[in-house]
Amino acid sequence: MRIAICDDDKKCIETASRYLEQIGEADFEYDTFPSGEDLLKVYRKSGCVFDAVFLDMEMDGANGINVANEIRGMDRHVIIVFVTNHTKYMQESFVCSPFRFLVKPVGFEDFKKVFFKILDRIEEDKLTLSFSEDRVKVRLLYEDILFLQSINHHTCIQTRDKLHTTYTALSELAAQLNTNIFVQVHRSYIININYIRAVSKSELFVRGYNHPIPVSDKYRDELEHKVFLFEERKRLI
């Protein structure tokens, strides 16, 4: 999990950082930002990079709600936690769908409680895939991924507009994926069911990609079962 802490008060950043170090029970990393504009620069450059943002509501030079609204426009899934001195702004913040509010001064137990609520939400949703590419952390939305392919000693991840390459094994990435959305069809391929366009006995085609993808006997029954369940869910919605 990747966390951003954004506050123009250095002491508040130090407190939040200390709380995260005290928790230390989960697999996460965090970055700190002294202004909303610094945080937005990262979003504008790299897109959806954080799972959760602890955001000061009242910052000099940038209204935290405006910052949150711009972030929400780039990332529909990021969890936003507002940290505030005043509860009077809460009503107008609802447009960006905040997850929780923490009122300053924030105590450790309150912070820890929200932190583990965030973990629970991420576990429930499982809507992103994270990996390293050229020593840079990348986080992709499931809805953007067409398929994953194992080639030699690396894995290629084809999205709607880009091909990513990582040395993380296909099996390791598979452990992050929601099995209601992704299905393995070959020892070297995992497919996003949403993008399946056509299936034959030995291959399938996905939308946005012109080449056939092999389907092996070992995985054919599972593929047919997953596609059936997927169609049933769409019919019931």
Walk me through the domains of the chain, giving residue ranges and CATH numbers.
2-125 (3.40.50.2300), 141-236 (2.40.50.1020)
* Residue predicted with more confidence, 178 or 34: 34
- Please check the confidence at residue 9 and state whether its pLDDT lies above 90: yes
- Please check the confidence at residue 237 and state whether its pLDDT lies above 50: no
Helix boundaries (H) for 75-184: 90-93, 108-125, 170-174
- Please check the confidence at residue 100 and state whether its pLDDT lies above 60: yes
Residue 76 near residue 26 (C-beta atoms within 8 A): no
